[in-house]
Amino acid sequence: MNSVKGVQLKKVLFVISSLSDGGAQRALSNIVMGFPDDWEIDILLNSAENITYPYKGNIIELGISRPTHYKNVFFHLKLFFRRFFTLRRLKKSNSYQACISFLESANAVNVLTGKKHCKIFLSVRNHLSNEPSFMVRIIVKAAVRLLYNRADKIISLSDGVRNDLIGNYRIAPDKIQTIYNGFNIDAIRQNRQHDIAGATGFTFVTMGRLSQQKGQWHLVRAFSRLIESSPDCRLVILGDGPYRSYLEQLISEYDLTRAVRLTGFIENPFKELACADVFVFTSLYEGFANAVIEAMACGLPVISSDYRFGAREILAPDTDIDFEQRDNVEYAKYGIITPVCSGIEYKAGDQLEGQELLLADAMEKLYRDIKMAEEYKNLSIERANHFSIEKTVDELIALIC
């Protein structure tokens, strides 16, 4: 470690766009809150506005707020250059052990500002090959292939993400280490305290940004099938995002306004999770999925799509992570896995696709089979304990030191 007059320095810099509204942001929040108190932590953000996740350490901001139109080219150029010069200065003057960046734009600048003054680690949070925009996918592919092998280490969120980096981006296998997201399991369980007196019916719940990636409209459509035979069922969708209006329209067209509730963003989602009976996750792709572990920590049985990547590593860790369930409902060791839905944005009048029908079948199975639901509840609690924040931080510090 670096030292000043014989005293070892424990100092690390994290780089991310914000500390609000996102899985990577929440993961960073968990990490810094879990770091030992004898470490000095700096966090470089685009802007210190609208911080919603807890943190400890010193916030350094670039003073660049996100524009209304995020695809604004001038915004990205301004962000790149200001982040580049700020990060280069910070690395040179602050004696960090390491600079750890999250997400692709920050990762690129972390590499370009060099590792002369500290180690550089890049955190890859998603299955990059599944980026929906063709142009973005081409740009990211070129940048990753050109830059990422120059890092000291690339931290992949799952083994599936690791394989994607090796197979599609020519990253050297010895450059990559999988470190799963960590969670403060005790805090989650404390925050789930609730009064269930007002709870009615059997409740399915999902959580995540209302976006194309999360595929919540497929869940609404599957639920419309389930409620035909099980009218006492309810669905709660936690989160907010650009697809809210589409979901509202779909819920209205199916005449489900009394059975489906959109909560918007809520500060403590764990109370809502604790009031539910089953967690359902319909993502089209992921790098890992914080929400699945958080739901399991709350003791909820889980039904999840076999998104790329993470679902199988969480729910079926003894199976081949490259296998993808396409045709059946899979009753795995720690939860139920269903095929990934198509991502087609249907209207209410459109016929349900096969994947949605299988999802509805899985939901009905847990609704009717009390014994199975209880078994998966206990297995969820057991499995969540494998993803403690203490383990994640220990692995990260071992890399740094």
Tens digits of per-residue pLDDT, 233-252? Answer: 999 999 999 999 999 999 99
Residue with tokens 């198509």, as numbered in its chain: 342
Percentage of residues in the chain with pLDDT exceeding 70? 93
Whichever domain contains 299, its CATH number is 3.40.50.2000
The percentage of residues in the chain with a pLDDT greater than 90, rounded to a whole number, is 79
Residue 397 lies in a domain: no
Give me the chain's average pLDDT, please. 91
Domain boundary (155, 179, 203) is at 179
Does residue 82 sit in the same domain as residue 117?
yes
pLDDT score recorded for residue 75: 85
Give the global pTM: 0.86
54-112 confidence digits (pLDDT tens): 999 999 999 998 766 656 778 888 999 999 999 999 999 999 999 999 999 999 999 99
Q: Is residue 113 part of a domain?
A: yes
Domain assignment of residue 393, yes or no? no
What does the DSSP assignment read for 126-184? S-GGG-S-HHHHHHHHHHHHHHGGGSSEEEESSHHHHHHHHHHH---GGGEEE----B-
User: What is the domain count for the chain?
Assistant: 2
The whole-number pLDDT of residue 7 equals 44
Boundary-marking domain end, from 131, 154, 179 = 179
Residue 119 lies in a domain: yes
**Same domain as 349, residue 224:** yes
207: its two tokens: 């959580």
Residues 103 and 240 in one domain: no
Instruction: Report the pLDDT value the prediction gives residue 194, as an integer from 0 to 100.
Output: 58
Residues 235 and 373 in one domain: yes
- Is the pLDDT at 4 greater than 50, yes or no? no
CB 34 within 8 A of CB 121: no
Structural domain span for residue 25: 3-179
pLDDT digits (tens, 9 = 90+) for 338-380: 999 999 999 999 999 999 999 999 999 999 999 999 999 999 9
Measured CA to CA in angstroms, residue 250 lies from 222, 235, 284 at distances of 12, 14, 19
| pLDDT digits 0-9 by tens, 155-197 | 999 999 999 999 989 999 999 999 999 999 999 988 877 544 4
- 93 in the same domain as 217: no
**Same domain as 103, residue 64:** yes
Residues 224 and 356 in one domain: yes
